[in-house]
Structures are given as C-alpha cells and as structure tokens.
Structure 1
C-alpha cells in the first residue's frame, strides 16, 4: 500500500456523535530502529515483540460542530486535564488530517490512562499513539462500515507512525516488523506488518521483565536521539547491520536457535547505546545499576545455562527476556539478584501479547 491509498473522502453523512475505546500495548524492539527521515520514515527496518500488560487505554467521545475551522479537543490523562499533552496531539492531528478529513468536523473528548505508572520510566508514546490512532480509525469505520479489516489495521499503523514511529508496531502482535526490507516483500516504511516467516515454538509466550533502574523522564528524548544519527560517523554501517541482522534472525527464529537469538538481541541493544555514546553531542544512557544487571545476567547464564538475556530501550531500564520454559527459574533469579538494582525495588512482569483490543462499540 502507498501513502495515497490511505487518503479518504466522504460522500456519506457523518454521524452526529458517539464514543469509541481501544486498548493498545507498548512494544520492545529486538532489532532497533534508530534514526529517521522526514515524515517519520525509519532509516532502517526493525522488529519488535508486542507486549501485553504495559498498555494504554483511550476513549474518544466525538460530537459534530457547527463550524469546521480548527481542531477542537479536550484531553484527560488518568482523569485529570492534561494541557501539556495538547501540543503533541495538535501536531499529530495536523499530520493526519489529509487521511482523516473529518477531524475538524468534531469536538473530541480524549480520555487516556496507562496500565503502568506514568513515572515508571516506560515510554507510553507507542501505546498512547497507537490507541488514539485506533480510536480515530474506529470513527472512520463508522463512516465507512465496509472497510476491510487488513486495511483498517494498516491505516491505523500508518497513522500511529505519524504520532510516534514505534507506535506503528503496537497495533498487532506478537512479532511485528516495520521498515522496508528486501527479504520481506510485504514490508513497508509506512506501517508495521506481522512477521510472516516461521517461528519455532521455543519462542512462543516469551516473557519480558522490565527492571525499572531509573524512573521519570529520559535523559534524551527519542526525537533528539534519532536526529543525532544525521551525520553520525557510524550511521551507514549501523543501518546496513540492521538489515543483515534481520536476515540472520529469520534463520534463528525458524531453527529455534536460542543461543543465536540471545547473541543477536543483546548485540542490538548494546549497539543502540554505542550509537548514542559516539554521537555529537554524546550521551551515556545506562546507569551503574544497568551494568550490574547486565553483568549478573551474563554470569547467571554462564553458570546455569539458563536461556535468559536482556535488551534495552534508549534509557537505563533493562528488559529481561526469557522463554516460558524457564519462567520459575527466571523469576527467582530476578527476585534474588536483580530487584536490588531497581529504583525502589520496582519492576514489571510482562509477556508477548496479541496486539490492540477494541473495548467498546457504542453509538449514541
């Protein structure tokens, strides 16, 4: 599908009012996207695990206005007015208006909440923008009720990307690829697609325990971090590495090569941080406790041969990944050795999920 396929026009009479609600999960990339072009186009392809417990629930109530002169909405987060979120939503509406021309026809009441604490250090932009995009697509589906399900999901992913790049990977589950790659003919820079190749059952029901080393705002925003890839001395090599790793991952997942999976995923995580440490300006996003957790994982894996590994986002928190088959061992290890390195001993137990869910279908 191309960008033009997602442009809409309506001859139908628009509904006067209504309410929709969707719950969308966060995701954690195994192969990282870092660096982007104009219009939220990724500089390299990525693949992520869609999470389950870490999610955003968003409800959008809409009512027709007499004049369609500008965007009009009220925004509530956790039941309270959130004025500082409004500029980002206004920018988002501006980016997607060409694809959802009804936006200025309505006043919206947007109510959103996270299943995880706002100060937990877990980025909510992916789940938040995905949930909002799905709500807006649900409104369009009420205008165009014959909309194909695949088109609905791909356009929702397309729209979510324009709010937050990684949000396009939070529509479906459990493995999602985003970014054009020659080995995957259906892949696109415009939206995420479900991973189409064989995945060995050893990778089913993978778990992600998120060690909250540092809560609160990240040292560097994702937008700033991505921009640092422009002119980065190692950017070209990094982008080529991501393509190569996607090729390697296909065989790893098909064969059930856990050792290869661990090596690739941990290398990708450390590469992301290496790119930040060698940018201009440069940043060290890991904390001492981040390194302690990593070293303990390496030591435990070496001593017990338990297939437990880590990945990182662009911050200090550590995502501890392990298969269902070692769940009890992994949780015991986390509680005995890793929790001490978490801020206030806090961590989140999550697992691979099936994607976003529609919560209500209400017409008034």
Structure 2
C-alpha cells in the first residue's frame, strides 16, 4: 500500500453539510508505541463499540478567510475549547497533503459526544473518525467514481493521523490495525475489518465501562507512546503483541472464552506495566481500580461467569462479557462494584457495526 494512492486533488468548489456518527473502540490487544508519525510499533485489535459515539457535522462553503492555512471553526458541544482546537489544527496539517482540496473551503465543525469527556472512553478515536468521515463524504462528491472500500480505507487512514486508535473506529465489529503476519490484509496505514468467521458469541459482546475516576489523565497517551522509545521492554512487547494477535484471531473464530479472558486481561496489565517501567515512570490506575479488578477475578472464580476486564490508558475499567450473562453481571455491578464508581456512574455498551451517516 502506498500513501500517495490516497491523494485526490480538485479545484471544483461546492457547498453543503454532512453529518456522521462514529463509535469509540476498546483494544483487546493494545497499541503502545510509535515507529514514526502515527505508525504503530505493534499491531492491535479492538471491539468497535455501539453506544459511545461522537456525532460530527461539517458545514462547508467556498473559502472566506484566504490567509488561513485551513479555514475552520470548531465547536465541541457548542463551545470553543483551545485544547481541542489545537488537536484539530494539527490534524489538518497532517492530512493536508492527502486532501489538498480542503484549501478551497471554509468549514464549521460541530462535535458532540454521547458520553462524558474524560470518562475513560477513547473520545479522540470517535471524534477523529467522525470528522474524517465527514471530509471523505465531501471528497466522494468531488470524485463520484470513488469505491466504497477506498472510502472506508482512506477514512481510516485520515483518522489515524488524528489519533492512532481512531483508525479502528470506522468499521466493526472487530478491527485490526498494524501489520501482522496472522492477518494478510493488515497494514500500518489504516485498520482492516476482521470479518473472518467471527464466532457468534463475540458479535453481541457487552462492554460496561466503570467510571472509577473522571479526572483528566496525568500523562497523555501521546506522551506515553513517546516514552516507549526507550522502554527496556519495548522489543519483548512487540513480540508479545504479535503472538497475542495470532492467538486471539483463532479465539475469535472458535469462541474459546477462557483463552479470550487470559489474553485480554494480560494485555490490559501489560499496558500499565509498560507505563510503570518507562523513564520517567508513571501510574494511571488507582487503588479503586485494583479493588475492582480483584472483585472481578473473585466473582469469576466463584460463579464461573465468563467476565473479564480490560483497561485503556487510565483508571477506568471496561467489563467485558457475553450478552447471555447480562442479567447476572448487572446484578454483580450493582451489588459489588458500584460503590467504587465515581458517583455510581457506569456506561452500558456493546459491540457495534461501525460508523454511519445521519
């Protein structure tokens, strides 16, 4: 795959509005560390979520402010937020060579989340994916011969330049990003939908996000990725992730829940171990996180209920379980875990099919 395959240029100027919803995702095998700008050191695989989404609308008109590099106004939930605006500005700089036609436009971008920001859900993934899909929707009008696979692949490609994990938020229910010998169509530039005979149990898997802490992270994911450059376990981590991808691909076909649980929890703990062994080291989980993890393990062992946990780069817990166990798991959450959640908050989600136009 060559990057220049994704370059279209047009001097045609149109106007209109487009709106897309894109979901967040939760990685089962984690991406941690970069080779270069937004290219992963190791492959990752994720569940696409369903209810935790970002809705983004883009109004596009002929360019008004000629001096601007890319002329846009960005609003998150009706407000201008400097931190977010800087991310959008960097995103436009990175994608400019692949969508050079944007120089002819002014954009008004409105973005809203269905979930609280800083709730431990990858909001950058859903937000960058939904914005990229809006831009691709405009490009599809400029180039009507565009094929659907190209549209989705380039949307993932552009999303990656805003947030690596965003590349996995275009399609569903399961996506792979990063080159892996275990999956022939995988590559570092965009995510690929894993559609090879997924076992039925994983097509409706549940993810309940336990909000342990809703404060902003002390160390950003970008900083964490940078610290992997000198992590003494970096090479072993690349080997481990490739092995786990290989195992997980087989598990997703067979429905072996015991093996699924082992790999998913190992990946979550490895992610945070890598943070602790960075220089400088840092810890993003807290005592409540560990208490909940122990509760989950004890409950699983005593009841034989196939639940497991995973973590993003933060203290909040994604509780994963088959749909058929929803009732008993919700009882467990309400009786044993809710007191560890910030203000009793948790979010019910499930595996989804990917982004959609609205």
TM-score by length of 2: 0.97
Q: Distance in 2 between matches of 1:334 and 1:236?
A: 38
Question: Structure 1, unaligned stretches of length 5 or more?
Answer: 360-364
C-alpha RMSD over aligned residues: 1.2
Q: Distance in 2 between matches of 1:340 and 1:56?
A: 28
The Cα shift of 1:100 comes to: 0.6
Whether the 8 Å CA contact 1:68–1:104 is kept in 2: the answer is no
Q: Distance in 2 between matches of 1:143 and 1:109?
A: 19
Q: Equivalent residue for 1:43?
A: 41
Q: What are the superposed Cα offsets for residues 41-70 of structure 1, whole Å, 9 maximum, x if unpaired?
A: 000000000001111000000110267542
Q: Structure 1 residue 250 and structure 2 residue 249: aligned?
A: yes
Q: What are the superposed Cα offsets for residues 249-295 of structure 1, whole Å, 9 maximum, x if unpaired?
A: 12222221100000010000000011011111111111111011100
The SS at the match of 2:228 is coil
Q: Equivalent residue for 1:6?
A: 6
Q: What are the superposed Cα offsets for residues 101-120 of structure 1, whole Å, 9 maximum, x if unpaired?
A: 11121111000000012243
The SS at the match of 1:97 is helix
Q: 1:219–1:322: structure 2 CA closer, same or farther, 3 Å change rule?
A: same
The Cα shift of 1:182 comes to: 1.2
Q: What are the superposed Cα offsets for residues 209-241 of structure 1, whole Å, 9 maximum, x if unpaired?
A: 000001021121000000110011000000110
Q: Equivalent residue for 2:278?
A: 279
- Of stretches 82-91 and 211-220 in structure 1, the one that deviates more from structure 2 is 82-91
The SS at the match of 1:157 is helix
Q: Distance in 1 between matches of 2:141 and 2:214?
A: 40
Q: Equivalent residue for 2:222?
A: 223
The Cα shift of 1:21 comes to: 0.4
Q: Distance in 2 between matches of 1:110 and 1:234?
A: 41
Q: Equivalent residue for 2:58?
A: 60
Q: Distance in 2 between matches of 1:92 and 1:151?
A: 20
Q: Distance in 2 between matches of 1:167 and 1:235?
A: 23
Q: Equivalent residue for 1:233?
A: 232
Q: Distance in 1 between matches of 2:94 and 2:290?
A: 39
Q: Distance in 1 between matches of 2:103 and 2:250?
A: 48
Q: Equivalent residue for 1:362?
A: none
Question: Structure 2, unaligned stretches of length 5 or more?
Answer: none
The Cα shift of 1:9 comes to: 1.9
Q: 1:10–1:316: structure 2 CA closer, same or farther, 3 Å change rule?
A: same
Q: Distance in 1 between matches of 2:191 and 2:83?
A: 29
- Of stretches 99-108 and 237-246 in structure 1, the one that deviates more from structure 2 is 99-108
Q: Equivalent residue for 1:358?
A: 357
Whether the 8 Å CA contact 1:269–1:312 is kept in 2: the answer is yes
Q: Distance in 2 between matches of 1:150 and 1:222?
A: 30
Q: Distance in 1 between matches of 2:295 and 2:192?
A: 35
1:12-51 paired onto structure 2 within 5 Å: 13-15=12-14, 17-51=15-49
Q: Equivalent residue for 1:187?
A: 186
- Of stretches 84-93 and 283-292 in structure 1, the one that deviates more from structure 2 is 84-93
| Number of residue pairs aligned between Structure 1 and Structure 2 | 357
Whether the 8 Å CA contact 2:49–2:351 is kept in 1: the answer is yes
TM-score by length of 1: 0.96
The Cα shift of 1:204 comes to: 2.2
